[in-house]
Amino acid sequence: MRQVIKKYNKTLISISSLIFFFLAWELSLNIFEVSKTVLIKPSEILNTCITDYDILSKEMIYSAKEILPGWLIGNALGFLAALSIYRKDRIAKRLVNVSVLVNSIPLITLAAVLGGIVGTNQNQKILLVSLITFFPTFITTLSELTNIDEGHKDLLLSYNSSEKQILKKVLLPKSLPSILNSVKVTVTTAIFTAITAEFFGGYGGIGIFILSKKGLYNLKLVWAGIFFIALFGSLFYSTVQLLQKRLVRWQKS
Amino acid sequence: MQEEKNSSQSKMPWILVLIVAVVGVYFLYTQILKKESESTEEMDRVTLQLKWIEQAQFMGFLVAKELGYYKGEGIDLEILPGGVGINPVDVLISGDADVAVAWTGNVLPAISQGEDLVNIGQGMQRSGMRLMALKESGIKELEDIFGKKIGTWPGGNELEPYAFIEMQGFDKDRDVTLVNQNFDMNQLLNKEIDLASAMIYNEYWLPIEAEYSEDDFVVFDMEQEGAGMLQDALFVQREYLQNNEELLVRFLRASIKGWEYAIENPKESVDLMGLDFTENDVTAKDHQIRMAQETAKLYIADDGATEGLFYINTDKLQQTIDIATQYIDEVEGIDIDKIYTLDIWERAISNE
């Protein structure tokens, strides 16, 4: 029994702190008078999540169709682009520098401009999400691949290994943990990007849903929408985390 | 190494104390400064939140300020422009503005949630909202909107289109596609949407000023279709009203004077507002003059001419409440007597 408790200690702590947080939220609203146009009780929000499950999930799925493809395309392109140029040492190093610079620009502002060029449809959000998730993965992959332990390289070269073999035996296993960490970070970025882009206009999605319900002071649906995004985000993130653990079994976290 | 770490750790609380002290001093300083600036002036400060950016839609307030009508009543008026993402009702509730030019339809959901907001004067006597489609889209009759993409402006401006759609027997969430419309007509002209929201004093004219003619469009007038709700009204919090009745009377009197001047001289008013005009946009001078003329029509419509500017017609207010209650889920249980007062208006026009 004690061992079981020890094993799940972390989970227990996080669950109990979550429960404590929501209880404090619920109870403090009983004590203090807060306008219903600002904040409502978590029990009411939970209730709305259940009763309006159908519209909320419809809008969330709409947004997910922007987030998931964009995230996949951005990460795949970032990885493949880095893979295709990492051997050209000089170009690669410069590209890393340029990409770091580009990555520091809040590219989400492009949503305003892109709307005029490609319209405000789902493809616009996919384009934006893939653009924004491209750079972190590209930068990490490229800098990891160009940074090889000379000793390892010399050893493999002394065995007359080809570049492909070096990549497979040394570079990828060494780089994968960092790359996957960066991929994990882009999960949050992707969700954030798609929903913010929806605020600039579009045909559907949870971002627009929240915006329009906010205007109608339907705080229950606004908060329920936020809960749905949180739920989707946690699910998405844990899935990627699980995949990461599967892919890099040798790494101790 | 260990020592260094310890010394930097022991410095931490001091840094925290310093930060708190700086923030505290800054806060006190700004508060004192605010008090001082308030007390040194003899005039009463009033903050007015506009529904949208400074433009001819609000010419009466802007002109009254420019011509010193508010100063004449002993009021130092600060005008806060609106814009994308600014909901005047939110600003009013948060207390950042004393008076807000808000759409009644926008205010009703907040009142349903328990906010105590009161209408002290009705600016526009009719709805200026239209839904317009290109004729080539095939939309001719009301029932043709089924299955179409309809542009609305989220943030409290979508109640009339919602009511209009539901009145035709359609479900706004299932039978049509609602699209978050930008504050221009490009989505309509690019055929991204079939029907666009347009104000008769603003967006309606944008395509016509460009290259289209009025005959290219099919237009549904929300007022004529029975979905019209009152817009551009002056709202205050009840608490503010109770503490500042006399001040609001003076504010309304100066506003009415400004609007009378602006309606009489729309072209001159556009120059007086102090805007930076651009070309081919909502801020172009020609467009603003047209906006001034169309806005004037809405202010002097119906009771605006017979009873006087800013008169509140209770039948129309009740109609707005009825439409909203019937078709908008978020509006319920509103008692008309608790959301307006004609008292301020009567005292303002009687020059007491």
Domain ranges for chain B: 43-126+230-349, 129-221
| Residue recorded with tokens 């805007």 | B275
At residue B9 the predicted structure's pLDDT band, cuts being 50, 70 and 90, is low
Given CB atoms, is B160 within the 8 Å cutoff of chain A? no
Chain A residue with Cα closest to B328 = A216
The answer, yes or no, to whether residue B323 has pLDDT greater than 80, is yes
Q: What share of chain B is helix, strand, coil (3-state, %, to 5)?
A: 50, 15, 35
What separation, in Å, do the N-terminal and C-terminal C-alpha atoms of chain B show? 80
- Percent of all residues in chain B with a pLDDT value above 90, rounded to a whole number: 61
CATH fold group of domain B43-126+230-349: D-Maltodextrin-Binding Protein; domain 2 (3.40.190)
Say yes or no: do domains B43-126+230-349 and B129-221 share a fold. Answer: yes
Q: Which of A178-182, B83-87, B269-273, B321-325 has the lowest mean pLDDT?
A: B83-87
Q: Which tops the pLDDT comparison, A60 or B329?
A: A60
Give me the DSSP letters along B215-232.
Answer: GGEEEEETTTTT-----S
Q: Which of B109, B180, B190 sits opposite A216 (nearest CB)?
A: B109
| Residue recorded with tokens 């029932």 | B143
pLDDT tens track for A141-200? 998 888 887 888 788 888 888 888 888 888 888 888 899 999 999 999 999 999 999 887
- State how far the Cα of B160 lies from the Cα of B144, in Å rounded to an integer: 18
pLDDT tens track for B130-139? 999 999 888 8
At residue B265 the predicted structure's pLDDT band, cuts being 50, 70 and 90, is very high
Cα A184 to chain centroid distance, Å, stands at 6
Cβ pair A215:B154 closer than 8 A: yes
Q: Which of B173, B181, B330 sits opposite A217 (nearest CB)?
A: B330
- State how far the Cα of A164 lies from the Cα of B218, in Å rounded to an integer: 65
Q: How many CB atoms lie within 10 A of CB B228?
A: 22
Chain A residue with Cα closest to B191 = A119
Q: Which tops the pLDDT comparison, A92 or B79?
A: B79
- State how far the Cα of B61 lies from the Cα of B80, in Å rounded to an integer: 11
Where does B129-221 sit in CATH, by number?
Answer: 3.40.190.10
Architecture of domain A45-252: Orthogonal Bundle (1.10)
Q: Which of A119, A203, A216 sits opposite B330 (nearest CB)?
A: A216
- What pLDDT score was predicted for residue A151? 82
Q: What is the ipTM of this complex?
A: 0.72
Given CB atoms, is B95 within the 8 Å cutoff of chain A? no
The residues near B150 (Cβ < 8 Å, ≥ 6 apart) are B131, B161, B165, B176, B177, B178, B179, B193, B194, B195
Nearest alpha-carbon partner for A45 in A36, A58, A34: A36
Name the minimum distance, in Å, from the CA of A101 to any CA of chain B.
30
Q: Which of A37, A202, A204 sits opposite B110 (nearest CB)?
A: A37
Given CB atoms, is A112 within the 8 Å cutoff of chain B? no
Cβ pair B106:A35 closer than 8 A: no
The answer, yes or no, to whether residue B34 has pLDDT greater than 80, is no
Cβ pair A35:B157 closer than 8 A: no
Q: Which tops the pLDDT comparison, B72 or A251?
A: B72
Cβ pair B113:A55 closer than 8 A: no
**Cβ-based contacts of B148 with chain A (< 8 Å):** none
Name the minimum distance, in Å, from the CA of B239 to any CA of chain A.
15
- The identity of residue B169, as a single letter, is G
The arithmetic mean of pLDDT across residues B218-236, rounded, is 94
The residues near B115 (Cβ < 8 Å, ≥ 6 apart) are A35, A37, B93, B237
**β-pair partners for B79:** B48
Name the minimum distance, in Å, from the CA of B196 to any CA of chain A.
13
Residues within 8 A of B (CB atoms), A 190-249 only: 198, 201-204, 208, 211-212, 214-219
Q: Which of B87, B180, B330 sits opposite A218 (nearest CB)?
A: B330
| B129-134: strand order across its sheet | B177-180, B149-152, B195-199, B129-134, B217-221
Cβ pair B156:A208 closer than 8 A: no
The arithmetic mean of pLDDT across residues B119-141, rounded, is 92
Given CB atoms, is B104 within the 8 Å cutoff of chain A? no
| B44-49: strand order across its sheet | B75-80, B44-49, B99-102, B233-237, B117-122
- What pLDDT score was predicted for residue A173? 85
Given CB atoms, is A122 within the 8 Å cutoff of chain B? no
Helical segments of chain A, H only = 2-7, 9-31, 42-51, 53-85, 89-103, 110-118, 122-145, 150-158, 163-166, 172-199, 206-215, 219-247
Cβ pair B187:A212 closer than 8 A: no
The number of residues in chain B equals 352
**Cβ-based contacts of B107 with chain A (< 8 Å):** none
pLDDT tens track for A2-27? 666 677 788 888 889 989 999 999 99
- State how far the Cα of A120 lies from the Cα of A106, in Å rounded to an integer: 19
**β-pair partners for B46:** B77
**Cβ-based contacts of B106 with chain A (< 8 Å):** 215
Q: How many CB atoms lie within 10 A of CB B102?
A: 28
Pairing of strands B129-134, B195-199: antiparallel
Q: Is B130 helix (H, G, I), strand (E, B) or coil?
A: strand
Q: How many CB atoms lie within 10 A of CB A133?
A: 28
The residues near A180 (Cβ < 8 Å, ≥ 6 apart) are A244, A247, A248
- State how far the Cα of A111 lies from the Cα of A37, in Å rounded to an integer: 29
pLDDT tens track for A97-149? 888 898 888 888 888 788 777 777 888 999 999 999 999 999 999 988 888 87
The arithmetic mean of pLDDT across residues B111-116, rounded, is 91
